[in-house]
Amino acid sequence: MHSGSELTSTLFGFDPMWISSLILIATYAAIMSEKINRAIVALLGAGVMILFGVLNQEMAVKGVDFNTIALLTGMMIIVSVTRKSGVFQYVAIWSAKQVKANPAGILLMLQVVTAVFSALLDNVTTVLLIVPVTMVICEELKIKPYPVLVAEIFASNIGGTATLIGDPPNIIIGSATGLTFNDFVMNLAPVIIVIQLVTCAIFHVMWGRKLHAAPENRARVMSFNENEAITDRRLLKQSLSVIFFVILGFILARPLHLEPGTIAMFGAAVLMLLANLGRDAETQSHEVHHTFTEVEWITIFFFVGLFMVVSGVEHAGVLKMLAEYLIAATGGDLTITAIAILWSSAILSAVIDNIPFVATMIPLIKNMAPTFGGPEGLLPLWWSLSLGACLGGNGTLIGASANLTVAGLAERAGTRFSFVTYMKVAFPIMLVSIVISTAYVWWRFL
């Protein structure tokens, strides 16, 4: 934590605490308004932070967590190359056929597939790959796709919570705290499995048991040839091998003394090398260029700008002050603080972007270390923040990027998603997941 005395002098001698707070609030407000692209907002916020002298350029660059940036970019490249093989469609169709194209079974299986993919890949990519197959299956079965799509939104956000790489909040938390892939799996996966099972049961009772398809329509899905979904077997083998070794790398990151960002970026480079072996220079340039265009640069630059904005308020001492207020409000009680973070993260993440929220909360929580006996004492708070921020995103249609992606794709195919209709169903189910998380955090960590 840096004190205010380390700061460069601010423009017009403004109080750095006030000016950095105003910039943070204005950035949040602009992101929430969705009137201006969030990457533009974050970069503008970062620029204003420097222009006002809250940060100098060196401090701003230091504020960017390049491990998070490398991890996100590396995984985006790996997924971009892998998706060309058709493996995701293969698994979705295969799973639908395992339940004999029974609609209730498909509802269940597609949730499981989405949750598993989301745990290993980013959520938006997962739903981008799963939704078109889902729409085709539902059309062939002549059932409404809405229940399946809502269940997939939940599965994507729930599954993503289980691992370090599953959801951006976890990536930021892991990178900022040194918590490893294994730490996330050991501490979060058990409760995530329970939450996913409960959610599957809720969706079955609510929708699954009422879904019926005529035998001839089920036969049409059973006639799908999943092998035809595999478009490039060589690439499939290469991609799965690289993903296997990247995940192995995440598991062994601590003994290998490697950061996840290095592992992901190295894996991305190896996969691009394998995929381009034997191609001439021009084709390689074309393929690599295409792969790079698939990286979500809006997200990457959003992170860069956001890290700088948060770094500004951190350097100004705002987050230390907020941490002291929070500790005073909870009486320095770890249980109350953990539960407060879990619930406030969940509720706020349902209505605001959870990435800036988590980015702001991390230094705030770090400031509580002296009260709770050092960094080790903060572990319950990190797990509470992760569970709240990731699962809270299910509460409304704007709660997570994956939700908006599914809604956008569905509307292009004629299935309407309304904010209120979705929230009426989703918010109570999200609260159920937070109740389960509360019991788990209390039982396991407090």
Partner 1 sequence: MTCRSIMNVNPPKLLCSSTVAEALGLLRWENRMNLPVVDAKGQYAGLFGAHQILMLALPKGACIDDKQGFAYVTDTQKDITNRLQGVAHHPVERYMDSESPPLHPDMPLVETMLTLYRRHEDLPVIDPETRQLLGIVTIRSSLGKLMVQS
Report which of 191, 120, 110, 172 is spatially closest to residue 406, judged by C-alpha positions: 110
Find the shortest distance in angstroms from Cβ 223 to partner 1.
Answer: 5
Residue 279 or 412: the one with the smaller Cβ distance to partner 1 is: 412
Residue 125 or 330: the one with the smaller Cβ distance to partner 1 is: 125
Q: How many CB atoms lie within 10 A of CB 98?
A: 12
DSSP type of residue 332: T
Amino acid letter, residue 97? K
Q: How many CB atoms lie within 10 A of CB 284?
A: 16
User: In angstroms, what CA-CA distances link 166 with 122, 157, 291?
Assistant: 5, 8, 21
Q: Are 358 and 169 in contact (CB under 8 A)?
A: yes
Which one of residues 136, 194, 379, 432 is an interface residue with partner 1 (CB under 8 A)? 136
Note whether 128 binds partner 1 by CB under 8 A: yes
In order, the DSSP letters of 278-309 are T--HHHHHHHHHHHHHTS-HHHHHHHHHHHHH
Note whether 139 binds partner 1 by CB under 8 A: yes
Find the shortest distance in angstroms from Cβ 404 to partner 1.
Answer: 14
Q: How far apart are CA 442 and CA 446, in angstroms?
A: 5
Q: Are 127 and 114 in contact (CB under 8 A)?
A: yes
Residue 9 or 293: the one with the smaller Cβ distance to partner 1 is: 293
Note whether 225 binds partner 1 by CB under 8 A: yes
Note whether 8 binds partner 1 by CB under 8 A: no
| Residue 54: partners with Cβ closer than 8 Å, 6 or more residues away | 7, 8, 10, 16, 19, 20, 23, 312, 315, 316
Instruction: Give the chain's length.
Output: 446
Q: How far apart are CA 189 and CA 183, in angstroms?
A: 10
Which one of residues 23, 48, 72, 129 is an interface residue with partner 1 (CB under 8 A)? 129
Which one of residues 132, 340, 347, 377 is an interface residue with partner 1 (CB under 8 A)? 132
Which one of residues 413, 425, 432, 446 is an interface residue with partner 1 (CB under 8 A)? 413
Find the shortest distance in angstroms from Cβ 296 to partner 1.
Answer: 14
Find the shortest distance in angstroms from Cβ 145 to partner 1.
Answer: 8
Note whether 224 binds partner 1 by CB under 8 A: yes
Find the shortest distance in angstroms from Cβ 409 to partner 1.
Answer: 5
- Give me the residue label for tokens 């192995």: 248
Note whether 215 binds partner 1 by CB under 8 A: no
Residue 89 or 433: the one with the smaller Cβ distance to partner 1 is: 89
- Give me the residue label for tokens 């995440």: 250
Which one of residues 193, 220, 300, 321 is an interface residue with partner 1 (CB under 8 A)? 220
Q: Are 145 and 213 in contact (CB under 8 A)?
A: no
Residue 55 or 135: the one with the smaller Cβ distance to partner 1 is: 135
Note whether 196 binds partner 1 by CB under 8 A: no
Q: Is the dihedral of CA 39, 44, 45, 51 positive or negative?
A: positive
Which one of residues 16, 45, 74, 86 is an interface residue with partner 1 (CB under 8 A)? 86
User: In angstroms, what CA-CA distances link 62 with 289, 301, 304, 377?
Assistant: 29, 15, 11, 26
Collapsed DSSP state (helix, strand, coil) of residue 164: coil
Find the shortest distance in angstroms from Cβ 83 to partner 1.
Answer: 7
Note whether 2 binds partner 1 by CB under 8 A: no
Q: Are 341 and 94 in contact (CB under 8 A)?
A: no
Note whether 133 binds partner 1 by CB under 8 A: yes
Q: How far apart are CA 440 and CA 65, in angstroms?
A: 30
Residues numbered 93 to 122 that lie near partner 1 (CB under 8 A) are: 93
Structure tokens at 341: 């973070």
Find the shortest distance in angstroms from Cβ 236 to partner 1.
Answer: 13
Note whether 228 binds partner 1 by CB under 8 A: yes
Q: Are 78 and 271 in contact (CB under 8 A)?
A: yes
Stretch that binds partner 1, among 27-35, 224-232, 298-306, 355-363 (CB under 8 A): 224-232
The interface mask with partner 1, positions 372-411, x = CB under 8 A, is: -------------------------------------x--
Q: Which residues bind partner 1 (CB under 8 A)?
A: 83-84, 86, 89, 93, 128-129, 131-137, 139-140, 220, 223-229, 231, 409, 412-414
